[in-house]
Amino acid sequence: MDFNLFMNDVVDAARKDITEAGYEELRTPDEVDAALNREGTTLVMVNSTCGCAGGVARPAAVNAIHFDKRPDHLVTVFAGQDREATEKARSYFEGYPPSSPSFALLKDGKIVTMVERHDIEGHSAMDVLGKLQHLFDEYCEEV
């Protein structure tokens, strides 16, 4: 089996998981600037191909949005794939080191808080879902 074809399949499946859930995929720095400078709350899911992304972060991201309170905007960048877009997104995460997978919650274009890889790796999808829902309770409006 060709390793590059295998990785393309893995990446495509990872992209599909999150976009089918309703997250807007940002693939260029310009798309990131436009999306992250919107008014309201924005959840950025920094996607990746690691096991904790597929087994924990993406399932948490998909299920966390079915809650009374949720961000106004749901977006995703893909670390290791769309490098320039990911770098641009991370430039908004002031005070936080690069981390993937991770979640950043912004309000009116400013970082509020993050759920970093160390908050994801070694935890269950339900644990991370709970962390996201707690943030939504604190910072988001009812839908």
**Residue 18 CB contacts under 8 Å (≥ 6 apart), including other chains:** 25, 45, 47, 58, 61, 62, 76
In total, the chain counts a number of residues equal to 143
Q: What is the pLDDT of residue 38?
A: 96
Catalytic center residues: 50, 52
Q: What angle do CA 60, 73, 23 make, to 5 degrees?
A: 50
Q: What is the pLDDT of residue 3?
A: 58
What DSSP string describes 57-88? IHHHHHHHTSSSB--SEEEEEETTTSHHHHHH
In the numeric block, which tokens belong to residue 14? 């990872």
Stated pTM of the model: 0.93
pLDDT less than 50: residues of the chain: none
Q: What is the pLDDT of residue 7?
A: 66
H or E stretch at 13: helix 3-20
What CATH number belongs to 3-139?
A: 3.40.30.10
The closest of 139, 34, 132 to 88, measured between CA atoms, is 34
In angstroms, the Cα distances linking 139 to 14, 38, 124, 133 are: 27, 16, 23, 10
Strand, helix or coil for residue 107: strand
Q: What is the pLDDT of residue 142?
A: 84
- Chain segment 120-134, per-residue pLDDT in tens: 999 999 999 999 999
